Amino acid sequence: MARGNARAAIKLEDVDRQLWVDALGRIADRFVWQAWAYCLMDNDYHLLVETPQANLSRGTRELNGVYTLTFNRRHARIGHVLQGKRPPTAPSYVS
């Protein structure tokens, strides 16, 4: 999970959404994740991934970094797009 810096939008156009989805696919392949679901909202995203290796933190850091660089280049911006990471939580129905 990650939220837009200061709760700002993390996508401005549909192209941004596709760039994020593409980045997720590349990161999932690289880190051998099984991505079961995602929810990309205006100012945050949620992931449901299975990680056979202990690399969730590294992968989400890379996803956030890759997307931030791409977003900032596209929109001629600098600085943070996403605020610090939020701790992963398991839904109450997962045992």
The pLDDT tens digits for 83-94 are 865 555 555 555
By the 8 A CB rule, do 3 and 55 touch? Answer: no
For residue 34, what are the domain limits? 2-74
pLDDT score of 24 more than 70: yes
Please give the distance of CA 34 from its chain centroid, rounded to a whole number: 14
Let me know if residue 82 belongs to a domain. no
Backbone angles phi, psi at 14, to 5 degrees: -60, -30
Residue with tokens 């051998």: 32
By the 8 A CB rule, do 79 and 72 touch? Answer: yes
Residue 5's pLDDT band (cuts 50, 70, 90): confident
The pair of three-digit structure tokens given for residue 19, joined into one six-digit string? 């760039």
By the 8 A CB rule, do 71 and 4 touch? Answer: no
Which residue would you say has higher pLDDT here, 23 or 10?
23
**How much is the pLDDT for 17?**
94
Let me know if residue 93 belongs to a domain. no
Gap between the Cα atoms of 77 and 31, Å rounded: 28
Let me know if residue 15 belongs to a domain. yes
Looking at residue 42, the DSSP 8-state letter turns out to be S
Let me know if residue 88 belongs to a domain. no
**How much is the pLDDT for 90?**
58
Look at the chain and report how many structural domains it folds into: 1
Compute the average pLDDT of residues 65-80. 93
Average predicted confidence (pLDDT) for the chain? 87
Gap between the Cα atoms of 34 and 44, Å rounded: 20
